[in-house]
Chains A and B, each alone.
Chain A
Amino acid sequence: MDIKGVGLGLRSAHYSDILKENPAIPWFEVLADNYLIKGSPNLSYLEKIRQNYPLTLHCIGMSLGSMDPLNFNYLKKIKKLIKIVEPVLISDHLSWTSFNKQYFHELLPLPFTEEAIFHVAKRIRQVQDFLEQKIMIENISSYLCFKQSQLTEWAFLKEIADQADCFILLDINNIYVNAYNHQLNALNYIKSLDTNRIAQFHLAGFENKGYYLLDTHGASFSSDVLKLFQQAIKKFGALPTVIEWDSHIPIFSRLLEEVQIAQTIMDQYANII
C-alpha cells in the first residue's frame, strides 16, 4: 500500500470527528504505544479508523540507542499491533529512553561516535529481523551535544541508516530546533544529508524559550520550518509528511487547516523538481 501527501498524527481527542466526518486525510500516523492492549477501547477506535484510512505506526519505547537489552516484551506487543492494523511503515527515534531498566520517557541524545553507530545499527537490524520489516528512524530534537562526537548529526543519521539498512523519518522541525540550539545552519543539514533512505517527513511546532527552542509539538509549525520543508521537498521529493501535535491539542478543523497549508507547499514545490 502506498501513501502520499500530508497525513496527520492521530490523537484520541479527534476519534469522533474522524469517524463521523471521514475527513479527506490520506492517512494517519498512530502513536503505537497507546494501542498495545488487545481489546482496549483505544484499539477498537483504531480498528474502526483503519477501515477507512491507511496507517503508519510511530513508537517511542524501542529505546534503540540504549545500552539495555532490547525490550522484546514491548516489541512483541508492537508485532501484534502490526498484525492487527497492517501499517504502511513503522518508526521510532534515534535516541535512548531507558538505562538499567529504568525508563525516562524522554528522547535522550546519543554521542555521534563509531561505537554508537555500530551499537544502534545492530539493534535496528535486530528489531527489523524480529518485526520482519524495515523500520524508519527519526532524528530527534536535542538540547546538548557531547564533546566526544566525531561526526555531524546528519552524517551520524545517514551512517546508522546505511549500516542498519533502514529508512529515515526526517523531522524538519527537529532539524530547525537543533540548528538553533547548537548554533548550526539548518539548511546546511538538509544540503549535507546525502541519502535516498528518507521515507517520510515530520512537521511540528516548537516553543521559543529564549536561549533554546523546546520541541513541544504544541503549536503550529513556524514559517522558518516551512521554508526548510520546501528545501527538503526540493531535495528529497514530495515524500509523505505527517503533522504532529501533542500538547494543547486544537480542534480537528484547525488541524485540517494545517494539513492544507503543508499540502499546498508540497504541491507547489513538488512541481518545481
Chain B
Amino acid sequence: MLTLFELQKKFTENLKNQDMEIYSFIQHNKHMSPKKQLAIYQDSILSAMQQALTRIYPVCKKLVGEAFFNYIINHYIIIHPSFSPDLNNYGAGFSEYLKDIETMATLCYLADVANFEWSWHSLYQQITDKKFDFDKLRFYENQAKNIIFKLPRSAILLQSIYPIYHIFLINQKENEDDQSIFLQPNQQYFYIIWRNDLGRQISSLNKVEWIILTWMQDKLSLGEMSEKLMDLNHEINLNIIIPQMICCGFIVDIAINN
C-alpha cells in the first residue's frame, strides 16, 4: 500500500511523463485499462491548459494556423507546468518561449505579438483606478518640483520594432479588412495599455512620451524629469504634455516624493 504522498507522486509522474508505476495501484475496470483511465485525466488537464492558452493568444493562433499553434502549445505545456491555482495566470512565458523556436524566424513579430496578447489579457485581472482628482494639483502647487505621477496600476508600457497593435487589430475575428503588414526598417512602436471603468484601453505613444511614462513608473519627480529632459536636449514642455496625459487617462494620481 502506498502512502498518500507516494500515491500522489506516482500519479503526477504518470500525468507528466506516462510513468507506469501507478498502474498496479489502480482497480481493474472491465471496460478500461489503468492506462485509459489515467488518459481521461491527462486529456482533461491538457485540454484545460490548451483552452487557457487559446483564449489568451487568439492572434498568435491565427497567425500560425490552428494546427501549428496546437503543436507549439502542446510542447509549451509539457515544459511549462502551472504553478498557480488560477488558470488565468498560466502562459506568462509564452512570448519568451516563442523567441527560442527557430522555425518562428519567418514570423519575426510573433513573440512580440504574444507579449502584447499576454499584457492585454492580464488587464482583465487588474485593478480599475479612480479618475484623476484635479483638486490635488492645486493642493501640491507649491511643491511642484517634488510631485510624482502615478500611472494606472494596470498600466503596461510596451515597445516593439513591429506594429504589434496593428497586427493585433487586423487579426481580430470580426476583421475582414486587408491583412497585409508592411514592416519598416528602423521603426519603433510604443504603446501604453491599461484599464479604466470603460474597459481595456490602448494608446500609441511617441518615443518621448514613452520615456516620460517610464520615468513616472520609476517614480521620478517633476523636477528630476525636467532635468533629464534637458540632458536629452528635447524641447518637450512637461507643462503641456502632463495635462494631456492626465486627460488621456495615462496618469491617475499624484503624490509628493519625500
Determine the chain B residues whose CB is within 8 A of the CB of A71 once the complex forms. 85
Determine the chain B residues whose CB is within 8 A of the CB of A111 once the complex forms. 2, 4, 7
Q: What string of 1s and 0s marks CB contacts (under 8 Å) between B84-114 and chain A?
A: 1111000000000000000000000000000
A148 with B25: CB separation less than 8 A: yes
Shortest A6–chain B CB gap in Å is: 28
Determine the chain B residues whose CB is within 8 A of the CB of A103 once the complex forms. 81-85
Determine the chain A residues whose CB is within 8 A of the CB of B129 once the complex forms. 39
Q: Does B126 contact A (CB under 8 A)?
A: yes
Tell me the complex Cα distance, A100–B1, Å: 21
Q: What string of 1s and 0s marks CB contacts (under 8 Å) between A39-56 and chain B?
A: 111101000000000000
A106 with B85: CB separation less than 8 A: no
A39 with B81: CB separation less than 8 A: no
Tell me the complex Cα distance, A181–B27, Å: 12
Q: Does B5 contact A (CB under 8 A)?
A: yes
Query: Which of B31-39, B136-144, B169-177, B228-236 has 4 or more CB atoms under 8 Å from chain A?
Result: B31-39
Determine the chain A residues whose CB is within 8 A of the CB of B12 once the complex forms. 99-100, 102, 104
A37 with B127: CB separation less than 8 A: yes
A53-94 with Cβ < 8 A to chain B: 60-61, 63, 66-67, 71, 74
Determine the chain A residues whose CB is within 8 A of the CB of B24 once the complex forms. 147
Q: Does A167 contact B (CB under 8 A)?
A: no
Q: What string of 1s and 0s marks CB contacts (under 8 Å) between A103-135 and chain B?
A: 111101011010110010000000000000000
A143 with B85: CB separation less than 8 A: no
Size of the A side of the interface (Cβ < 8 Å), in residues, is 47
Interface residues of A (CB under 8 A from B): 33, 36-42, 44, 60-61, 63, 66-67, 71, 74, 96-106, 108, 110-111, 113, 115-116, 119, 143-149, 181-183, 211-212, 214
18 inter-chain pairs at a CB distance below 8 angstroms, sorted by A residue, are: A37-B127, A39-B126, A39-B127, A40-B127, A63-B85, A100-B12, A103-B83, A105-B87, A106-B41, A108-B8, A143-B40, A144-B29, A144-B40, A146-B25, A148-B1, A148-B7, A183-B30, A212-B32
Interface residues of B (CB under 8 A from A): 1-5, 7-9, 11-12, 15, 24-27, 29-32, 34, 36-38, 40-41, 44-45, 48-49, 81-87, 124-129, 195, 199
Contacts A106-B44, A119-B4 known; 4 new A-B pairs at CB < 8 A: A40-B126, A108-B41, A144-B34, A214-B44
